[in-house]
A and B are shown apart, each in its own frame.
Chain A
Amino acid sequence: MALQTDDGRAAARALDIIERFKGLEGPLLPILHGLQEEFGHVPTSVLPVVADALNISRAEVHGVVTFYHDFRKEPAGRHVLKVCRAEACQSMGGEQVAERLQILLGARFGETSADGAVTIDPVYCLGLCSCAPAAMFDGEPVGRLDDEKIVGIIERVRA
């Protein structure tokens, strides 16, 4: 029962967001972004609500949500670190940087650290190839990742 009422409350919050973006042309992505902003992730339980409101199928919503890695199924940690693993960054030692970050933060790609402090995600090109290896920390680009900058990131996570 508790789950049902939680779902019910989530659905009500979702409906507000859906109502806000429904009038747009191509409203699904804005709605999904809105949901992620509201809940910190896109709860699976509200996807049928979205489908019904837009008169599309559950399958279609599922297809779109799973296509974009940025839409999370679970809430992220307090911080989010996205590490570029595309060709340019790899050629500048990005793989080693990525490995170090994962060890130091105590989480593998796609995971959140046990203390909930940080989620670390792989990304494929941030458009920062000239400053490779690159990452993005809480929405802020970080270029030319070296030991010093790695330590800086760790400190901010642990702060």
Chain B
Amino acid sequence: MGLIKEIDYGTPQAKSEKQVTLTIDGFAVTVPEGTSVMRAAMEAGIKVPKLCATDMVDAFGSCRLCLIEIEGRNGTPSSCTTPVAEGLVVRTQTERLKTLRKGVMELYISDHPLDCLTCAANGDCELQDMAGAVGLRDVRYGYEGDNHVSAKSRDGGNDNFRWMPKDESNPYFTYDPSKCIVCSRCVRACEEVQGTFALTIEGRGFDSRVSPGMHEDFLSSDCVSCGACVQACPTATLTEKSVIEIGQPEHSVVTTCAYCGVGCSFKAEMRGDELVRMVPWKDGKANRGHSCVKGRFAWGYATHQDRILNPMIREKISDPWREVTWDEAFAHVASEFKRIQSQYGRGSVGGITSSRCTNEETYLVQKLVRQGFGNNNVDTCARVCHSPTGYGLGQTFGTSAGTQDFDSVEHTDVAIVIGANPAAGHPVFASRLKKRLRQGAKLIVIDPRRTETVRAPHVEAAYHLALQPGTNVAVITSLAHVIVTEGLFDEAFIREKCDWSEFEDYAQFVADPSHSPEATEAYTGVPADALRGAARLYARGVNGSIYYGLGVTEHSQGSTTVMAIANLAMLTGNIGRPGVGVNPLRGQNNVQGSCDMGSFPHELPGYRHISGDAARETFEMLWGVKLDHEPGLRIPNMLDAAVQGSFKGIYIQGEDILQSDPDTKHVSAGLAAMECVVVQDLFLNETANYAHVFLPGSTFLEKDGTFTNAERRINRVRKVMAPRNGYADWEVTQGIAQAMEIDWNYTHPSQIMDEIAATTPSFARVSYALLEELGSVQWPCNEQAPNGTPVMHVDGFVRGKGKFIRTEYIPTDEKTGPRFPLLLTTGRILSQYNVGAQTRRTENVVWHAEDVLEIHPHDAEQRGIREGDWVRLASRAGETALRATITDRVAPGVVYTTFHHPETQANVITTDYSDWATNCPEYKVTAVQVSPSNGPSDWQVEYDALSRRSRRIVPRDAAE
């Protein structure tokens, strides 16, 4: 195996088409115009010594180590800042250069500690490497002079004012100024790669030091802990605490992050089966070598003490858990499900697939339900997030997925971000977007809240349309009104690719004065001239792209909003090439995949309706059973049926519906009414409080498989350690199936993928061998697109002609009134992920230890609420309590909170209103009242007690 050492070319790749040939040390090299001499040399296999250059950031030319000589030119320019030119004759190693480099190294080392043997970077230190490369044997200056190395002056006991202590404030890495050579790589990585600008060089000359913020520590600065600086640092100045603790890794495995839908590729760097660190992989096509705090650092949950490693059973949910063997657990689940089905009918059981698990695992769960249970009662968490995306894009374009790859953002001129806060939810995409914005692209944000995406150093939205929650359709239809009535639509595109008569109907609809910005302003709260400006900007931009999130889908008109977005893109011809498109930012690592794999009650893998005979027969032939041609129950229907008494057993893989689904009390009543709730998870999650069987899950580090990210990219997940619970999740599902006497004999997930490819046209050519060869592939991947499809609908829409659909705004039934005068909307924060099951079990809690309620100063003052006060948050559905923070990020009349902590119980508040087409819950709009409070609500106190009771475990030894 060995450690994957990626080549550092020193400067970024040049993208010119024109090739230039030059001679370096006598070898002819041909590279694109704009390439640096340093990179050209590296392409030819000649490594010019360097310290301040690395290919993740632009050349800087400060270390003076990479000097070269060029025939016919004076002096010794730095190779990193010198572009290649035709016929250049370069020498990288001459007597003069050797002397110069040695002199530079002597200066560096005269102000650097000589503790290499005990240094954390030993074995991974570029300074050490360069000392070796230039043949440094002696430092003529000695070590006695002014320095930043020792705390005390070397002559006596006086304090050395230049010395700074180590900053250990960040939970994941340390900053040791005494080892810093001030190459600025960290500062540039923070600016160019991450786009946060949290670091600077303070002072000048010998006083120059890296400073987070205004001479603050890392934790109090603007640092978002993405780790790009740590990765860029050539010395031990910025080092992962895990490396300090464990030592250098010895082998690495490329795998895919299990957090958000960006799907970053990482090298898991290992020592034995211990994970030392995660380093983003440069060849990862979603992230291009970048990461966020979660992916790089927040993997400690995998070995957290809360992880459950043995299967457990109990008769009643009031009993303590009893640890059992895997065989006992499988047999118990099989016999219970059989008993329930014989007693209450075939439709009385079902399953929920996990968007956190692999495609292969998800496929098996739906297969177990359809083949084993003999019904279609399978659903997935996409029900509560992006089901409207599937429906809306399916109706208009013909596919249930984003149209672009993430590289597309590098070509966009105007980006609209609707109901999403990529800076918090999809940070690596946010960094790529910000980079493009700094190059001059324009941004329009449509969001009730002034998110971090609206304004950040060097990036500011041209328009922020701060709409009232729940008025998305009105705002987007108004944008279309402006585009149609001002003649800004792309007639040629529409005539060629869409149905013209449907367009005419749609145009007539949106042109109605009732959709004008002046008319909608009254209830959307968006000023008409801002809306008109935004519409013109998007329509006139060369490449206009739309990125959206759950602020679009989690509404009673979620599906309508998705269609309205699709209309907007078709109107302006922004489909079918790089830089444009409609891009849902999927929340979970494999939510795209879980949808693709037939997780919905009405759809087989590849979005084929269960009533379609052809698709059903494919599976019937292969599985040897007759499949039910009627759609099964959705999650909310399963819970309704449970309360009514007709649904009695459920197998939930890796989803915490009690915390993540709306109207918590309804969910708990449904679960409590069932006779066999099987929960498969890493931890005793909230849903497990109501479970009868607990099957321990495995982490993404412990199994092979694939995840499909928001750009339809199928990425490999590779096992780097054995499952601590004994089985990978797909093996657990197979264990249940086998106990139910179903003939499954998979020995490796690749065989499951082969079955998927054989049955699902859009995956026809996908195999582990192909993924090995290409690194990753974007579906559709079949005969027509053997290497996958980065951009969709290039030669016309998948459904044939793009379909314009009327999007009438219908206000939600959830309305404010005298008792509930405020609108609550919800969202995420950078450091926490979703219901927090993982990130709450990492050091990420230093950034976000509890959910707080954001409230406008005006609303707070009216209610006598001060910063940090406990407040009671009540809706028609229920009430909870949390602390308030006062901010003008939210408009008056709007309050906002995150949903990462179970204690908050934000979903006790949310109602059971949902999207008309897909039942996606209306999380983003709830009418509430906020009032001062003394502490947690009765429900929170009771629930806490229930959780404690419910989590008692009797170990196997004790029970025997």
Q: Which A residues are closer than 8 A to B by beta carbons?
A: 44, 47-48, 51, 55-63, 66-67, 69
A56 contact from B197, B211, B212, B215, Cβ within 8 A = B197
Contact B457 A63 (CB under 8 A): no
Give the contacts of B172-220 with A (CB-CB under 8 A).
196-204, 211-215
Closest to B202 in A: A66
Q: Which residues of B contact A60 (CB under 8 A)?
A: 197, 200, 457
A58 contact from B201, B204, B214, Cβ within 8 A = B214
Closest to B196 in A: A57
Closest to A66 in B: B202
Q: Which residues of A contact B198 (CB under 8 A)?
A: 57, 59
23 inter-chain pairs at a CB distance below 8 angstroms, sorted by A residue, are A47-B214, A48-B214, A51-B457, A55-B456, A55-B458, A57-B196, A57-B200, A57-B457, A58-B213, A58-B222, A59-B197, A59-B199, A59-B212, A59-B213, A59-B214, A59-B221, A60-B200, A60-B457, A62-B213, A63-B200, A63-B201, A66-B202, A66-B211
B460 within 8 A of A: yes
Closest to A64 in B: B200
B455 within 8 A of A: yes
Contact B457 A56 (CB under 8 A): yes
**Most chain A Cβ neighbours within 10 Å, of B200, B221, B222:** B200
A67 and B458 CA atoms in complex are apart in Å by 21
A67 and B200 CA atoms in complex are apart in Å by 11
Q: Which residues of A contact B460 (CB under 8 A)?
A: 55
Least CB distance from B185 to A in Å reads 15
A138 and B585 CA atoms in complex are apart in Å by 60
Contact A67 B203 (CB under 8 A): yes
Contact A55 B211 (CB under 8 A): no
Q: Which residues of A contact B211 (CB under 8 A)?
A: 59, 62-63, 66
Q: Assuming A57-B197, A59-B200, what are 17 further A-B pairs, CB within 8 angstroms?
A: A44-B214, A51-B457, A55-B456, A56-B457, A57-B222, A58-B222, A59-B198, A59-B214, A59-B221, A60-B200, A62-B211, A62-B213, A62-B215, A63-B211, A66-B204, A66-B211, A67-B204
Contact A62 B197 (CB under 8 A): no
Q: Which residues of B contact A59 (CB under 8 A)?
A: 197-200, 211-214, 221-222
A61 and B199 CA atoms in complex are apart in Å by 11
A44 and B216 CA atoms in complex are apart in Å by 12
Q: Which residues of B contact A62 (CB under 8 A)?
A: 200, 202, 211, 213-215
Least CB distance from B443 to A in Å reads 13
A58 and B223 CA atoms in complex are apart in Å by 11
Least CB distance from A106 to B in Å reads 22
Contact with A along B287-313 (1 / 0, CB 8 A): 000000000000000000000000000
Closest to A63 in B: B200
Q: Which residues of B contact A57 (CB under 8 A)?
A: 196-198, 200, 213, 222, 457
Q: Which residues of A contact B213 (CB under 8 A)?
A: 57-59, 62
* Interface size, B (range): 20 to 34
A69 and B204 CA atoms in complex are apart in Å by 9
A128 and B444 CA atoms in complex are apart in Å by 54
A57 and B211 CA atoms in complex are apart in Å by 12
Closest to A51 in B: B457
Least CB distance from A11 to B in Å reads 15
Q: Which residues of A contact B200 (CB under 8 A)?
A: 57, 59-60, 62-63
Least CB distance from A89 to B in Å reads 18
Give the contacts of B88-140 with A (CB-CB under 8 A).
none
Least CB distance from A25 to B in Å reads 16
Q: Which residues of A contact B455 (CB under 8 A)?
A: 55
Contact B214 A56 (CB under 8 A): no
Q: Which residues of B contact A67 (CB under 8 A)?
A: 202-204
Q: Which residues of A contact B456 (CB under 8 A)?
A: 55
Least CB distance from A61 to B in Å reads 8
A73 and B250 CA atoms in complex are apart in Å by 49
Least CB distance from B435 to A in Å reads 16
Contact A63 B458 (CB under 8 A): no
Least CB distance from A30 to B in Å reads 19
Least CB distance from A85 to B in Å reads 13
Closest to A59 in B: B200
A23 and B459 CA atoms in complex are apart in Å by 18
A36 and B263 CA atoms in complex are apart in Å by 49
**Most chain A Cβ neighbours within 10 Å, of B202, B204, B214, B457:** B214
A90 and B212 CA atoms in complex are apart in Å by 37
Q: Which residues of A contact B204 (CB under 8 A)?
A: 66-67, 69
Least CB distance from A58 to B in Å reads 5
Q: Which residues of A contact B215 (CB under 8 A)?
A: 62
Nearest 3 A/B pairs, CB to CB = A63-B200, A57-B197, A59-B200
A67 and B207 CA atoms in complex are apart in Å by 9
Least CB distance from B742 to A in Å reads 58
Closest to A56 in B: B457
Q: Which residues of B contact A63 (CB under 8 A)?
A: 200-202, 211
Least CB distance from B667 to A in Å reads 43
Least CB distance from B431 to A in Å reads 15
A66 contact from B203, B457, B458, Cβ within 8 A = B203
Q: Which residues of A contact B214 (CB under 8 A)?
A: 44, 47-48, 58-59, 61-62
Contact with A along B208-241 (1 / 0, CB 8 A): 0001111100000110000000000000000000
A47 and B202 CA atoms in complex are apart in Å by 14
Closest to A48 in B: B214
Least CB distance from A81 to B in Å reads 22
Least CB distance from B194 to A in Å reads 12
Give the contacts of B456-488 with A (CB-CB under 8 A).
456-460
- Known A-B contacts A62-B215, A63-B211; A56 and B203 likewise in contact (beta carbons under 8 Å): no
A66 and B214 CA atoms in complex are apart in Å by 10
A61 and B211 CA atoms in complex are apart in Å by 11
Q: Which residues of B contact A51 (CB under 8 A)?
A: 457
Contact with A along B252-279 (1 / 0, CB 8 A): 0000000000000000000000000000
A62 and B200 CA atoms in complex are apart in Å by 8
Least CB distance from A66 to B in Å reads 4
A53 and B907 CA atoms in complex are apart in Å by 38
A56 and B199 CA atoms in complex are apart in Å by 12
A58 and B198 CA atoms in complex are apart in Å by 7
Closest to A61 in B: B214
Q: Which residues of A contact B199 (CB under 8 A)?
A: 59
A20 and B222 CA atoms in complex are apart in Å by 27
A39 and B232 CA atoms in complex are apart in Å by 39
Closest to A69 in B: B204
A47 and B457 CA atoms in complex are apart in Å by 14
Least CB distance from B167 to A in Å reads 14
A61 and B458 CA atoms in complex are apart in Å by 13
A63 and B221 CA atoms in complex are apart in Å by 14
Q: Which residues of A contact B222 (CB under 8 A)?
A: 57-59
A132 and B484 CA atoms in complex are apart in Å by 75
A61 and B202 CA atoms in complex are apart in Å by 10
A70 and B569 CA atoms in complex are apart in Å by 54
Closest to A67 in B: B204
Contact A56 B202 (CB under 8 A): no
A69 and B457 CA atoms in complex are apart in Å by 25
A44 and B460 CA atoms in complex are apart in Å by 25
A57 and B223 CA atoms in complex are apart in Å by 11
**Most chain B Cβ neighbours within 10 Å, of A47, A48, A60:** A60
Least CB distance from B803 to A in Å reads 41
A48 and B457 CA atoms in complex are apart in Å by 12
Contact B201 A56 (CB under 8 A): no
Give the contacts of B422-464 with A (CB-CB under 8 A).
455-460
Q: Which residues of B contact A66 (CB under 8 A)?
A: 202-204, 211
A44 and B215 CA atoms in complex are apart in Å by 11
A106 and B204 CA atoms in complex are apart in Å by 27
Q: Which residues of B contact A47 (CB under 8 A)?
A: 214
Least CB distance from A146 to B in Å reads 31
Least CB distance from A87 to B in Å reads 15
**Most chain A Cβ neighbours within 10 Å, of B203, B221, B457, B459:** B457
A63 and B455 CA atoms in complex are apart in Å by 21
Q: Which residues of A contact B196 (CB under 8 A)?
A: 57
A56 and B203 CA atoms in complex are apart in Å by 18
Closest to A62 in B: B214
